[in-house]
């Protein structure tokens, strides 16, 4: 319904033409509580084209009755398909939006308001992006989704949009020291299941050079498939994460080396909305790589989506099989017997929302019939055949039976016959050091190669640590003291419980001793508070300008975002310091409370410190690092910076006891680096060096 018709003002010729504000009001409607969206159309006529100077969208107002407002996601969709997020995931279990108005120039972001949010606020999205030159005439839509269906019902009572001579102006990204990713979906909304085809360009002008969104796309310029990803992060976070698949013009997978990472087609853009330090995941990946395992590589980027700046993201390798990722054998559908059938496989312990199977052994706590679900990751559910499903389910079942059985400590018939014990030790240490509240029970990956390649079940790669490192206010996730693996004692009613594996492993004194020995090996180096602080400070320096822009468009510093514990730092520097403080205190508790015999006798047979090269020298090093090979097999050497990027590599080096050297770039910045040496047999040594 048109409330105020446009009436031209007759002004003297010397005066500019002023356009009267015009408000249009839409209908109300009940909000579906079945997982579908409410879309209320509003026909608008009689408007000029919308811009950011003379005439455009000024304000959107809503009144919505709902008893748990954080369940709601509300967007305004313009006639050309431009969608602006007004509010999502705000207000907890409080009631209603009452006369809630959104303006681009409002002084208070909606994140700093309280229900029923009466008054004027800045939306989570950028209203100015609607004023892009499009015609204001056509169908406007209020989109409302109840992201927690079958619980609390509600209704839109009224809503309105106002146009006038004080239009909203978009936030624009001028330049960045980070690479810039520009995505254009051509008006299509990004779904949460089936990828749509879009275009992606990457600007990366190299270290020391600024990047601009309008620069030539020199890092990538082509088609992608894109969809939203995540579980709680999908519906609770207004800043969405995305899965990206690089494609040819005909829609086939396209393997490209993005931003210095090995060529692949599948990638993830991680939003890290809940983690205001923006580094919990990258820190965990860095540490797990330094411990000698594959973990996804990543690069920080800033993202412009459909012309809207949406902040800092982490472009990350998706966990998948491949020579440069999880390096296990390729398993074809026709490989259904013999050694071929035994690998490779990737699984993950998850919510029962995908395709996989239920463990025959109950979790540590199951008062309501909880169970452990393992999801197929490779081969994908569409590709795995019944014989392969039967094999991997049988293998997991045999491992669990052996672990649960009375002879579980037997080196031949017990659990050691099935798993790669060092990888389980390292995953245990990284989960406990980070006090990962999701650890062991969600996003816990496992992989198995063919029997001819070893055939053991490995723990890892690590994934999804944004609410680790003290960043969870439930189930003691922010406590310095206590064990993450004791989750079942802390929160037995939670729907997702841990496999019994970890409690049972820790009943083996040899496993416990090996954990302590591994800790003592790493406690003063890779896993030390000083090493973590060096990494965190280097990331904070890298993100200095970008984080200010990120928290301008996502004004959540100092505000509660699920599941941040209190007190909540008011600044980005405070978030980084909070991470460092947690690490230091948690390290001290773990160091004092880890059980086991620290003598590290080799009789445990569970963990052998890999010796591939002797400690490099000098340390600090200059343009050359010298070392001797200890392994008799060929050795490859890499030098990694604090972000896990390879800055120098060489090899193979031959000759047991021979002296070698690694030349490094002369422009290498001062800091802490990791020299990593790997021989042909898979043994690895890592050393922390100063430059």
pLDDT digits (tens, 9 = 90+) for 370-402: 999 999 999 999 999 999 999 999 999 999 999
Split at pLDDT 50, 70, 90, the class of 491 is very high
**What pLDDT was estimated at residue 12?**
37
> What distance in Å separates the CA atoms of residue 108 and residue 649, rounded to the nearest whole number?
50
Q: Say which residue, 662 or 362, is predicted with more confidence.
A: 362
Split at pLDDT 50, 70, 90, the class of 149 is confident
**What pLDDT was estimated at residue 597?**
83
Q: CA nearest 167: which of 138, 126, 107?
A: 126
| Average pLDDT of the segment spanning 189-208 | 95
**What pLDDT was estimated at residue 528?**
96
Average pLDDT in the chain: 91
Split at pLDDT 50, 70, 90, the class of 643 is low
Residue 672 has pLDDT above 80, yes or no: no
| Average pLDDT of the segment spanning 124-131 | 94
**What pLDDT was estimated at residue 55?**
97
Residue 14 has pLDDT above 80, yes or no: no
**What pLDDT was estimated at residue 86?**
96
**What pLDDT was estimated at residue 516?**
94
The rounded percent of the chain whose pLDDT value lies above 70 is: 94
Q: CA nearest 282: which of 292, 272, 293, 267?
A: 272
Split at pLDDT 50, 70, 90, the class of 201 is very high
Cis, bond preceding 620 (omega within 30 deg of 0): yes
Least confidently predicted of 41-55, 97-111, 129-143, 228-242: 228-242
Residue 234 has pLDDT above 60, yes or no: no
**What pLDDT was estimated at residue 627?**
81
Structure tokens belonging to residue 389: 């499903």
**What pLDDT was estimated at residue 644?**
65
506-531 per-position pLDDT tens digit = 999 999 999 999 999 999 999 999 99
Residue 609 has pLDDT above 50, yes or no: no
Residue 241 has pLDDT above 60, yes or no: yes
Residue 17 has pLDDT above 50, yes or no: no
Residue 258 has pLDDT above 50, yes or no: yes
The rounded percent of the chain whose pLDDT value lies above 90 is: 79
- Cβ burial 301-321 (10 Å sphere, 16+ → b, else e): bbbbbbbbbbbbbbbbbbbeb
CB 267 within 8 A of CB 43: no
Least confidently predicted of 162-171, 224-233, 272-281, 322-331: 224-233
Split at pLDDT 50, 70, 90, the class of 664 is confident
Residue 360 has pLDDT above 70, yes or no: yes
Residue 564 has pLDDT above 70, yes or no: yes
Q: Say which residue, 690 or 483, is predicted with more confidence.
A: 483
What's the half-sphere exposure (Cβ side, CA atoms, 13 Å) at 4? 12
**What pLDDT was estimated at residue 559?**
92
291-324 per-position pLDDT tens digit = 999 999 999 999 999 999 999 999 999 999 999 9
Residue 36 has pLDDT above 50, yes or no: yes
> What distance in Å separates the CA atoms of residue 572 and residue 205, rounded to the nearest whole number?
27
CB 365 within 8 A of CB 488: yes
**What pLDDT was estimated at residue 372?**
98
What's the half-sphere exposure (Cβ side, CA atoms, 13 Å) at 635? 30
> What distance in Å separates the CA atoms of residue 409 and residue 606, rounded to the nearest whole number?
11
CB 301 within 8 A of CB 181: yes
Q: CA nearest 147: which of 451, 615, 562, 464?
A: 562
Angstrom CA distances, 425 to 291, 421, 645, stand at 11, 6, 25
Residue 40 has pLDDT above 60, yes or no: yes
H or E element, residue 545? helix 544-553
Residue 659 has pLDDT above 50, yes or no: yes
Q: At what angle do helices 280-290 and 421-433 cross, to 10 degrees?
A: 150
**What pLDDT was estimated at residue 91?**
92
What's the half-sphere exposure (Cβ side, CA atoms, 13 Å) at 448? 25
CA 248-297-430 angle, 5° bins = 145
Least confidently predicted of 17-31, 594-608, 646-660: 594-608
Split at pLDDT 50, 70, 90, the class of 667 is confident
CB 550 within 8 A of CB 311: yes
């Amino acid at each position: 319904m048109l409330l105020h018709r446009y009436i031209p003002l007759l002004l003297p010729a010397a005066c500019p033409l002023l356009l009267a504000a015009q408000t249009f009001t839409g209908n109300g409607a009940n909000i579906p509580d079945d997982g579908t969206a409410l879309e209320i159309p509003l026909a608008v006529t009689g408007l000029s084209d919308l811009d950011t100077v003379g005439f455009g969208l000024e304000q959107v107002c809503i009144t919505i009755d709902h008893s748990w407002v954080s369940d709601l996601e509300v967007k305004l969709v313009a006639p050309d398909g431009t969608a602006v997020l007004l509010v999502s995931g705000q207000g907890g279990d409080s009631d209603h939006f009452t006369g809630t108005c959104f303006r681009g120039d409002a002084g208070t972001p909606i994140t700093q308001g309280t229900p029923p949010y009466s008054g004027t606020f800045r939306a989570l999205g950028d209203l100015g992006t609607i004023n892009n030159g499009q015609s204001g005439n056509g169908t406007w839509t209020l989109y409302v989704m109840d992201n927690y269906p079958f619980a609390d019902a509600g209704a839109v009572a009224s809503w309105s949009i106002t146009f006038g001579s004080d239009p909203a102006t978009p936030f624009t990204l001028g330049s960045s020291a980070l690479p810039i990713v520009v995505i254009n979906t051509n008006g299509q909304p990004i779904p949460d299941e089936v990828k749509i085809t879009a275009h992606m360009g990457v600007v990366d002008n190299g270290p020391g050079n600024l990047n601009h969104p309008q620069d030539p796309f020199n890092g990538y310029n082509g088609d992608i498939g894109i969809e939203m990803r995540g579980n709680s992060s999908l519906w609770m976070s207004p800043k969405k994460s995305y899965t990206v698949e690089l494609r040819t013009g005909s829609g086939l997978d396209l393997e490209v080396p993005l931003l210095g990472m090995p060529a692949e087609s599948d990638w993830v853009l991680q939003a890290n909305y809940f983690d205001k330090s923006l580094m919990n995941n990258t820190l965990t990946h860095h540490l797990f790589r330094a411990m000698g395992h594959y973990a996804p590589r990543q690069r920080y980027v800033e993202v412009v989506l459909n012309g809207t700046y949406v902040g800092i993201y982490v472009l990350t390798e998706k966990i998948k099989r491949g020579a440069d990722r999880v390096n296990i054998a390729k398993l074809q559908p026709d490989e259904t017997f013999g050694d071929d059938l035994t690998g490779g496989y990737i699984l993950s312990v998850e919510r029962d929302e995908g395709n996989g199977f239920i463990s025959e052994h109950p979790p540590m706590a199951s008062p309501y019939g909880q169970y452990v679900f393992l999801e197929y990751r490779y081969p994908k559910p569409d590709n795995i055949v019944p014989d392969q499903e039967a094999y991997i389910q049988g293998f997991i079942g045999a491992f669990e039976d052996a672990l649960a059985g009375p002879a579980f400590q037997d080196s031949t018939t017990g659990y050691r016959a099935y798993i790669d014990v060092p990888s389980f030790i390292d995953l245990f240490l990284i989960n406990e050091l980070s006090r990962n509240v999701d650890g062991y029970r969600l996003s816990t990956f496992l992989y198995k190669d063919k029997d001819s390649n070893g055939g053991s079940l490995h723990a890892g790669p690590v994934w999804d640590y944004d609410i680790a490192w003290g960043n969870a206010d439930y189930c003691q996730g922010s406590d310095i003291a206590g064990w993450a693996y004791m989750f079942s004692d802390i929160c037995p009613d939670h729907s997702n419980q841990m496999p019994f594996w970890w409690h049972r492993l820790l009943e083996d004194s040899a496993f416990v001793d090996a954990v302590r020995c591994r800790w003592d090996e790493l406690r003063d180096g890779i896993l030390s508070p000083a090493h973590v602080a060096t990494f965190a400070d280097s990331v904070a320096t890298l993100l200095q300008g970008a984080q200010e822009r990120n928290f301008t468009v996502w004004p959540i510093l100092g505000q509660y975002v699920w599941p941040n514990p209190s007190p909540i730092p008011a600044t980005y520097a405070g978030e980084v310091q909070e991470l460092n403080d947690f690490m230091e205190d948690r390290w001290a508790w773990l160091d004092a409370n880890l059980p086991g015999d620290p003598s590290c006798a080799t009789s445990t047979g569970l963990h052998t410190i890999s010796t591939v090269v002797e400690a490099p020298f000098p340390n600090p090093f200059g343009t050359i690092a010298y070392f001797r090979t200890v392994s008799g097999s060929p050795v490859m050497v890499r030098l990694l910076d604090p972000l896990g990027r390879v800055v120098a590599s060489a090899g193979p080096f031959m000759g047991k006891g021979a002296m070698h050297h690694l030349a490094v770039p002369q422009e290498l910045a001062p800091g802490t680096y990791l020299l990593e040496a790997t021989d042909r047999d898979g043994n690895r040594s890592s050393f922390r060096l100063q430059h």
